[in-house]
Amino acid sequence: MAARKTRSGKRSGARGWVAGGGAVRTPWRLLAFLTVVMVGLYATMFGTSTLKPRLAIDLAGGTSAVYSASPAPGSTAGITSGAMGTAVGIMRERVNAFGVSEAEVSQEGSNKIQVQIPGHNSQDLVNQIGQTALLYFRPVLQSAAATATPTTSGSPSPSASGSAKPSASASPSASSSAKASASASAKPSGQAEKLSTLKDAASSSASPAASGGSTAKASSSAAATPAPSATSSAQAAAAASESKAATAFASLNCNDKTAVKAAATALPTDYIATCDKNNQAKYLLGPSQISGTDVKSASATPVMAGNTVTNNWQINLNFDAKGTTEFANSTQQLYSEYTSQSGSGQFAIVLDGVVESAPVVNQGAINGGQAQITGTFSQSDADTLATILNYGALPLKFDISQVSSVSPTLGGHELQGGLLAGAVGLVLVFLYVIFYYRGLSAVAISSLFVAAALTYASAVLLGPLMSFTLSLAGVAGLIVAIGITADSFVVFFERLRDEVREGRTLRTAVEHGWTRARRTIVASDFVSFLASAVLYLMSIGSVKGFAFTLGLTTVIDIVVVFLFTKPVITLLARTEFFGGGHRWSGLDPERLGGTRATFRPAAAGTGGRRMTIAERRRAAEQAAAEGVGSDDTKRVDV
Amino acid sequence: MAGLGSLGNRLYRGDVSFQIVGRRRRWAAVFGAVLLLSVLGLFVRGLHFSVEFKGGSVITVPSATLSSSQVAEIASADGVPAPTVQVQQIVGGGRQVTVTTTTIPSKTQQQLTADLAKAAGVEQSKVTVNQESASWGRDISNQAIQALIVFLVLLAVYLAIFFEWKMAVAALTSLVNVIVITVGVYAWSGLEVSPSTVVGFLTILGYSMYDAVVVFDKVKENKKQLVDQGKLGYGPAANLAVNQTLVRSLNTSLIALIPVASLLLGGTVSQAAVLQDLALALLVGIGAGTVSSILVATPTLVWLKELEPAVRAQEERLARKAEQDRRAGKVPARVATVTETAQPVEATAAGPAPTATPGPRGPRNQPVRNQSRSKRR
């Protein structure tokens, strides 16, 4: 940057000299444009007071996790981008629901979701986000106290009831279809144990009212298989699944996690035997009747007793259209069971194979798509259940692929290491460039500084703009990029020197060399950019950060070469030091194998004064003539 | 650097010329042997994969006092099978202990984290934990390899359109060469392969292609100016191009290697595994990439081109002519070869002038051109 200031000092002199040639002003115009861009970038930075780039978890400290998706059991849809989008949305809401600020949830590749939580070690949170996955509403066919632990009556024993609003009439088709499926149902499965502690507790608050539903012998299992086109083979399969689950249920021990695992991976259409989350009760459950995706919203509110708030909490449920219909069918069925005492009348909210809650339908079919689950819920129980209902149903199944919790201290050390490496690398590059390019190195070094300034500003501004965060791999990308930026001017300078070797005057050499170097620079930068763009778009994890910075710096490299290096060289070619091929300019024709005669006589003749155009032209002619001649002689005696 | 500078001059002028294309059989033999050795290394020694590929947890706790045996005791008390414990000294950053385990349940891992934090007397948030599923490293690598394939296809298309398809084939050949050699180096040296290694490695591929593009650009230019004018055969023209860009290649590689080497240094000093792995892969790859873009890409291209009868016929004709000239005793042999390569210098000086350079090269330059032209006539 310092170099630029000194050059602008020469501005007036140079302008006087170039006055008249329109094209000659171009370098100034390009430099002015670059200045405007830079000032704009830095003004934005200071204006928005974002002065430092956002650091990724591995540098700033915090927890990051990558979840990889697999299709939900029984789903044939596979991993669609729509499902991934939904999952990202749900996870984001979940993270926010846990009250973590500045957490980032993003999709990586085609089947991965990355969650980044800055600041602290949040592994518990990561496990919880990964935990909640597949949610189904299943009818309870049988329930019993868990064999391992005796049931206590202190567990929440919820019940479901229709909303207070007269919503039953709102969906007449729903109730009619409920009846249809109910009456069309097959015979009930063996339900020896009707009584469960849960039901007992729930029914104490029940206020049964006779309903007009066709109630008689319908069982919940029948309603659970409403497939109108069900073939006999499908029914046979269902029966097989049921008897298998029934056997499992009989011997189910809730301390044995394999059973619950089997339940978690079961198809929604399977019968399952599983336990509740406290391992206090075990259930035999029918096929899923409503998927958790059909829950539009759920919230937890305190139960009101008149106008006073009680300590009991309830969960309010809202279903979408499909859910409303299904829920109406299901509750119709269950309620009829309940009134006829032919079944438990319970449905279970099953999350990953574990029963979260099993309310009894004791107030009639719920047709309006709105329901409350009441019972002896504490506030936290109710909140948890509402959260699960809200966010429980991811369309895909997620496994944790990678979790890393980095302490801010370690991240800081690594950042320091990276920056130290960058600084040392830059200084060594500077030394090498000075050694090799002499005077030209001033241009090379200032080019690198301009590139560094632009990169820094971009890294800072892309933070808020597209939530770019600088990771350790990104820092490595920046350091590697020094090489790419340097290559552009190496190509240009080598071309320039080639032209000088061929006996051109520096000014023509600049233009000539540039035309050729430009093509090479663009071609090679294009290849480099292509590599980083493809890597960025297709890869995951740290590769992405690395590819991004590499691509960014490639673009910046082009900008710097076109708007800075080239114009500056053009301007410098007009100075005596460079244009005259001074020994230390890096363009000394003699050193480059041309002849000193190319420049010397003219420079000497003017005695330090700037040459006139005529003088310059004459010198150039002479030089070119001699250059070619001496080339010939030289060739023979080598 | 006057040495390299003047070497650059002489290379450019053709005074000194490395027979890179001419000795391609030798290079082919050398690289064939190296490739064989690399493949052998892959089968005999195999690659040593990091925990990301095997699955497991890495827990790092800062502590000035904890010994590795203490940490191993804590780990086995928590039921962690076969932990690896490393004590690292960070320059300017204190001391830390790293435990690497195989895949363990989340609960066990959290227990271990808590116990280690307690033993070290630090808050749990100061402990760094990495937990990788066994598929993570594979996932990240698979994704990267897919990206690589897409890149290669796009690159081949780009080269085929803007250069020619034979250049695309030659570039890809040199790329395969780089890949195999780097894998060989990792196999024989037993260095650990982590996802960061894979990342670094991929960059090299881009980088080595970048190098090849610069050389091919010069080959293309020489072809237009020398071969198409019947002044030089394709092989010698390509050889000249390699020589002409040699200094640039070496310069660029050196400038690229300097920061990478300091990255390795910085990574080692700060014990940042990501930096170390990346830098090491880059170091190996840039080396292999530079050598192979010089010694493999262009010779392969020439070999492909010489399959074309016209190209070979021209080369033979020019060679015969040179032979006749020499027999006729017109010029001593040495000078004859020099002129053959020096010719282009003159040609490039005058040749492109009418077509090239729009812009500021105005009337001022006119006399230069006239002069040199009339002189030549």
Convert the pLDDT of each residue in B74-89 to its tens digit.
888 887 777 788 777 7
- Looking at residue A86, its pLDDT comes to 72
Structural contact between residues A611 and A619, judged by C-beta atoms closer than 8 angstroms: yes
User: Which pLDDT belongs to residue B319?
Assistant: 78
Spell out the residues 6+ positions from residue B202 whose beta carbon is closer than 8 angstroms to its own.
A531, A535, A543, B144, B147, B148
Q: Is the pLDDT of residue B377 over 50?
A: no
Tokens standing for A380?
A: 């936290």
Task: Tell me whether residues B210 and A501 touch, CB distance under 8 A.
Answer: no
Grade residue B274 by pLDDT with cuts at 50, 70 and 90. confident
**Spatial separation of the C-alpha atoms in residues A592 and B165, rounded to whole Å:** 36
Strands A62-71 and A112-118: antiparallel
CB–CB contact B260 A531 (8 Å): no
Of B133, B140, B221, the CB nearest to A540: B140
Q: Which of A290-299, B110-119, B232-241 has the lowest average pLDDT? A: A290-299
Range with lowest mean pLDDT among A90-104, A331-345, B228-242: A90-104
Least confident window among A133-147, B4-18, B294-308: B4-18
pLDDT above 70 (res B16): no
What pLDDT does B24 receive?
76
Question: Which pLDDT value is given to residue A560?
Answer: 92
Residue A450 pLDDT grade (very low, low, confident, very high; cuts 50, 70, 90): very high
The shortest C-alpha distance from A3 to chain B (Å) reads 21
pLDDT of residue A116: 80
**If you measure CA to CA, which chain B residue comes closest to A540?**
B140
A622 vs A81, higher pLDDT: A81
B residues 9-38 closer than 8 Å to A (CB):
9-10, 12-13, 15
Tell me the pLDDT tens digit for each residue of A192-227. 222 222 233 333 333 333 333 333 333 333 333 444
Check residues B7 and B263 and name the one with the higher pLDDT: B263
Comparing A117-121, A275-279, B206-210, B360-364, the range with the smallest average pLDDT is: B360-364
Cβ–Cβ of B260/A483 closer than 8 Å?
A: yes
- Residue A384 distance to chain B (closest CA, Å): 21
Average pLDDT over residues B350-354: 39
* Mean pLDDT of the A133-157 span: 60
Output the pLDDT for position A495: 83
pLDDT at position B291 is 84
pLDDT at residue A212 in the model? 35
In this prediction, residues B152-176 reach a mean pLDDT of 86
More confident residue, A148 or A107: A107
Judged by CB atoms closer than 8 Å, whether chains meet at B128 and A407 is answered as: yes
B150: nearest CB among A534, A540, A621 = A534
pLDDT reported for residue A591: 62
Smallest CA–CA distance, residue A515 to chain B, in Å, is: 6
Q: Which tops the pLDDT comparison, A387 or A623?
A: A387
B316 reaches A (C-beta below 8 A): no
Mean pLDDT of B350-355: 39
What does the pLDDT look like over A153-194, one tens digit per residue?
333 444 444 433 333 333 333 333 333 333 222 333 332 222
Burial (CB count <10 Å: 0-12, 13-18, 19+), residue B249 = buried
Structure confidence at residue B358 (pLDDT): 44
For residue A315, the cross-strand partners are: A300, A373
pLDDT of residue B187 exceeding 80:
yes
Amino acid at residue number A550: L
With beta carbons under 8 A apart, name residues in chain B contacting A402: 52, 130-133, 136
- Radius of gyration (Cα) for chain B, nearest Å? 28
Q: Note the pLDDT of residue B321.
A: 80
Task: Inform me whether the pLDDT recorded for A543 exceeds 50.
Answer: yes
Lowest mean pLDDT segment, chosen from A486-495, B294-303, B365-374: B365-374
Q: Which residue of B has its CA nearest to A434?
A: B1
Question: Which residues have C-beta within 8 Å of that of residue A392, sequence separation ≥ 6?
Answer: A132, A133, A134, A135, A292, A295, A351
> What token pair was written down for B157?
């298309």
Asked if A210 and A361 count as a contact pair (C-beta separation under 8 A), the reply is no
Query: Per the structure block, which two tokens stand in for A179?
Result: 């009846």
Q: What is the mean pLDDT of residues A46-62?
A: 82
What pLDDT shows up at residue A36? 92
Contacts of A119 (CB under 8 A, 6+ apart): A60, A61, A62, A102, A408
- Residues within 8 A of A (CB atoms), B 100-119 only: 106, 110, 113
Does the pLDDT at position A14 exceed 80?
Answer: no
Q: Given the DSSP bridges, would you call strands A354-357 and A347-351 parallel, antiparallel or unpaired?
A: antiparallel
Judged by average pLDDT, the poorest of A231-240, B158-167, B175-184, B310-319 is: A231-240
B296 versus A20: the higher-pLDDT residue is B296
Q: What is the pLDDT of residue A587?
A: 66
* A421/B259 touch (CB, cutoff 8 Å), yes or no: yes
Q: What is the rounded CA–CA span in Å between residue A123 and residue B180?
A: 40
Mean pLDDT of B10-29: 72
pLDDT higher than 80, residue A48: yes
Q: What is the pLDDT of residue A387?
A: 67
Q: Do A405 and B127 touch (CB under 8 A)?
A: yes
Assigned token pair, B59:
């827990």
Question: By C-alpha distance, which of A294, A287, A327, A373 is closest to A175?
Answer: A327
pLDDT for the residue A39: 92
Contacts of B4 in chain A (CB under 8 A): 436
Instruction: For residues A239-258, give the mean pLDDT.
Output: 74
Test the B interface: residue of A487, A516, A552, A613 with most B CBs within 10 Å: A487
Which 8-state DSSP code applies to residue B126?
A: G
State the average pLDDT over residues B261-279: 79
DSSP string, A470-512: B-HHHHHHHHHHHHHHHHHHHHHHHHHHHHHHTT--HHHHHHH
Percent of chain A with pLDDT over 90: 4
Instruction: For residue A287, report the phi and psi dihedrals to the nearest 5 degrees.
Output: -60, 155
Domains observed in chain B = 7-49+136-309 (1.20.1640.10), 56-129 (3.30.70.3220)
Which among B13, B93, B261 is the nearest to A593, CB-wise? B13
Q: State the pLDDT at residue A454.
A: 92
A404-432 pLDDT tens trace = 777 777 777 778 878 888 888 888 888 88
Does residue A245 register a pLDDT over 60? Answer: yes
pTM of the model: 0.61
Instruction: Band the pLDDT of A488: cuts 50, 70, 90.
Output: confident
* B317 Cα to chain A: minimum distance (Å): 24
The Cα–Cα gap between A147 and B352 comes to 93
Summarize pLDDT for A565-587 with one digit per residue, the tens.
Answer: 889 888 888 777 776 666 666 66
B96/A410 touch (CB, cutoff 8 Å), yes or no: yes
Q: What is the pLDDT of residue B186?
A: 87
CB A129 within 8 A of CB A116: no
Q: What is the pLDDT of residue B22?
A: 72
> Which pLDDT belongs to residue A214?
34
Comparing CA positions, the residue from A623, A13, A21, A29 lying closest to residue B363 is A21
Confidence class of residue A590 from pLDDT cuts 50, 70 and 90? low
Q: In the numeric block, which tokens belong to residue B350?
A: 């005058």
Count Cβ atoms within 10 A of the Cβ of residue B45 and give its class: 0-12 exposed, 13-18 middle, 19 or more buried: middle
Residue B195 has pLDDT above 50, yes or no: yes
Mean residue pLDDT of chain A comes to: 69
CB-based contact A585:A578 (threshold 8 Å): yes
Phi-psi region of B190 (alpha: psi -120 to 50; beta: other; left: phi over 0): left
